[in-house]
Structure 1
Amino acid sequence: MINLFRNYNPFNIVWLAILLLVLRIGYMVQIPEKVEFIFVEPFARLLVPVKYEYAFSPLLNVIIAGGLVFAQALLLNSLINHHNLLGKPTFLPALMYITLAGLFTPFLTLSAPLICNFLLIWMLYKLFNLYKGEDVKSATYDVGMIVAVGSLIYFPFIYLFLAIWVALIVYRPFNWREWVISILGYVTVFFFLAVIYFMNDMLPRFTHIWLPLGKKFPDHISINSYNYLLLAPVILILVLCFFKLQQNFFKSYVQIRKTFQLLFFIFLITALSFYLNSEFRLSHFLLCAVPATVFFAYYFLYATKRWFYEVLYLLLFISIIYFQFNKF
């Protein structure tokens, strides 16, 4: 399976579609009667003045979500190949994203983090271009606006604003104007939201938007113990990837090294920002799938023992399907 996707063969798109369906078949067989879809945060509800939470039937919800994941996989694959992050063109990033986006059953339906992954991929397109850009003020302004739009959809996305500053530290010499203009880009979107609040006589409630930022980081999270079993191969692949990266780190171009550093920080930001949500949802970690995809693809591209990496991926693939059919 892995060797098939190591090559950049357009026919692999067909295999991707088949694997996408297989990774969702267990959930579709036992699909619940109702599946809720929350598109925007409560404070941005004025922007969508219609009832949409149950606008789609459960089956249609899963099908649309699968279509979005498929589109994101191809976009991310194109981005990684365009910037030559892996050293050669391949379809492994698309395969890894489709696999990670099917990891848990909450990933299989429409959700705000799934929508935000389009914005995160768009951010990466712009952030990766900061390295060679001479005047990047417009790009940083745009990324600030992207983060603001993302936080309207899913508030924990606000922490990805830190990724802009991390990118400026990693890619660019210090220029205070580039840092400030990213803030202006973010403020622009919320300025228009404040105007909408004012027009609806709700301006005093505008400051309540930021209250979750003062929440204490939780000591523990409640998660089904069987999900930890599913995470075992994921953690193992990440550890193996970091060992492989360490071996080849100084053999890579400077831009590639800096990009992997940026992706690592984005992975940490997306993983640790879950606590801003009023109710813990496993779907939050779908945001981690974008940076993790690059690490997974890197390991499987440069792993040398075929029997080992093929069995490792097969174990992950089978585990995902098994836990969909078994709810325990």
Structure 2
Amino acid sequence: MILKKLKSNNSVSLILVPLVTLAFWLKSLQHPFAYDYFPGEQQNFLFKFIYVLVDGKPMIQVIIGIFLTIILAYLVQLVNDRYMFIRIKSKLPALLFAVIVGGFVPMHTLHPVYFGAIFILFAVDRLFAVYETKRAYSSTFDVGFILGVGALFYFNLVVFVPAFVIAIALLGRETGWREYVTLFLGFLLPFVFASAFAVLGDHFIGTVTILEQNIVTPVSHFRSNIPLQVYLATLILFTITGSIGMFKQYDTKKVSSRKYFTVFFWIFIFSLASFTFIPVTSQEMLVITSIPVTYLIANLFVFMKSRFWSELLFILLVLIVVSMQFSFDLF
């Protein structure tokens, strides 16, 4: 009965988003902490202006993290409501995103990835406007520009540019080389502005050094992190189950829904690839990976015919997230 109420189209789930987020971040509010940044991570071009204001104020950093997570949850819902790729109207995606991120306890504070995730969703929203559109030069430029600005907060957004190139090929109508050129021009423009600002401020070399640190610094928060490993294994099982359900529905879905889900698939793939090929990528990327995973699992719950199994799986997911709040004290 719990899931049945939450996956309906009423506003209950939306009202619960801030409450659920606060509940899962409560421990961080009681014992606020600052993220353990590697050198240069907090100095990314745009994020550093925010970090200067909150440096040494862990409570403020946690509160901002909560606020950004709630915004992300509502943006996840907004994109689905606008393009209806989960064909049954449901407010579950927003709440489900808040639940999933609630399990990433080490990320329950301020990190540039939250800004990066917001810009990813803005870019996806603009990208989907390309569907079946000829000469979508304005939209593709906007997509690139949004990604470029986001990368000035969280540099690893660069890895998603190929995913959006593939997405334009999937969604566009009679797509030509100009759409790809405008995407790259839009992406590079914020870096041109940032470089000009750095040159005028006489700190261009320092800026380049920070960007280099945001690529080659080896970071791993997964080693010996047993609770996070167990939680990720659980999410992998849910993702596999959701993928099987998606394959079963694939032929019955509208063409637009198939293509939208395929776009999220490529975003998911490139987020996973970054863990392998970019040394600096670690647990923070899971926030972005959670976006396509949220849509996939929400689709699973919305269309699952067995009320018993859907309720059981949802309760199991929530209980695992709850256990994550205490597991780090045991290990």
After the TM superposition, which of the residue ranges 223-232 and 283-292 deviates more from structure 2?
223-232
1:147–1:157 contact (8 Å) kept in structure 2: yes
Matches within 5 A, 1:248-287: 248-274=249-275, 281-287=282-288
Unpaired stretches in structure 1, ≥5 consecutive residues: none
Preserved contact between residue 28 and residue 109 of structure 2 (Cα < 8 Å): no
Deviation at 1:43, TM superposition (A): 5.2
Who is 1:3 aligned against? 4
C-alpha distance after superposition, 1:166-216 (max 9, x if no partner): 111211233001111111112211111121222133445665566469859
Residue pair 2:13, 2:95 contacting (<8 A) in 1 also? no
> Which residue of structure 1 lines up, in the alignment, with residue 225 of structure 2?
224
Instruction: Note closer, same or farther for the CA distance 1:151–1:3 as it changes in structure 2 (3 Å cut).
Output: same
1:111 aligned partner:
111
1:20 is aligned to 2:21: yes
Residue 68 of structure 2 corresponds to 68
Consecutive unaligned residues in structure 2, runs of 5 or more:
none
Superposition deviation, residue 90 in structure 1: 0.5
Name the CA distance, whole Å, in 2 between partners of 1:12 and 1:266. Answer: 26
Task: Answer whether contact 1:212 1:276 (CA < 8 A) is retained.
Answer: no
Residue 25 and residue 218 in structure 1: after superposition, are their counterparts in 2 closer, same or farther (change >3 A)? closer
Alpha-carbon distance, 1:68 to partner:
2.0
Partner residue, 2:95: 95
**Contact 1:36/1:54, CA 8 A, preserved across alignment:** no
Count of residue pairs brought into register by the alignment: 325
- In 1, Cα distance between equivalents of 2:205 and 2:154: 22
CA-based RMSD of the aligned residues comes to 3.0
More divergent stretch after superposition (44-53 vs 84-93)? 44-53
Between the aligned partners of 1:280 and 1:125, the Cα distance in structure 2 is: 25
Q: Is the 8 A contact 2:85 2:257 kept in 1?
A: yes
Structure 1 residues 278-316: Cα deviation after superposition (integer angstroms, max 9, x where no partner)? 755422211111111110110010112222221222122
Within a 5 Å distance, the mapping from 1:166-245 to structure 2 comes to 166-172=166-172, 173-203=174-204, 208=209, 211=212, 215=216, 222-245=223-246
Are the equivalent residues in 1 in contact too, given 2:268–2:289 (CA < 8 A)?
Answer: yes
Could you tell me how far apart the structure 2 residues matched to 1:67 and 1:50 are? 16
1:99 is displaced (CA, Å) by: 1.0
In structure 2, what is the Cα distance between the partners aligned to 1:287 and 1:63? 19
Q: Is the 8 A contact 2:47 2:152 kept in 1?
A: no
| Same amino acid, percent of matched pairs | 22
Whole-angstrom distance in 2 between the partners of 1:211 and 1:99: 34
Contact 2:264 2:292 (8 Å CA) reproduced: yes
C-alpha change, 1:218 and 1:47, in structure 2 (3 Å) is closer
Q: Measure the CA separation in 2 of the matches of 1:140 and 1:131.
A: 11
TM (norm. structure 1) is: 0.88
| TM-score with structure 2 setting the length | 0.87
Q: Which moved more, 1:44-53 or 1:158-167?
A: 44-53
CA contact (8 A) 2:103 2:325 kept: no
CA distance in 2, matches of 1:46, 1:270: 21
Q: Which moved more, 1:211-220 or 1:272-281?
A: 211-220
Report the equivalent of 1:35.
34
Q: CA deviation at 1:20?
A: 2.0
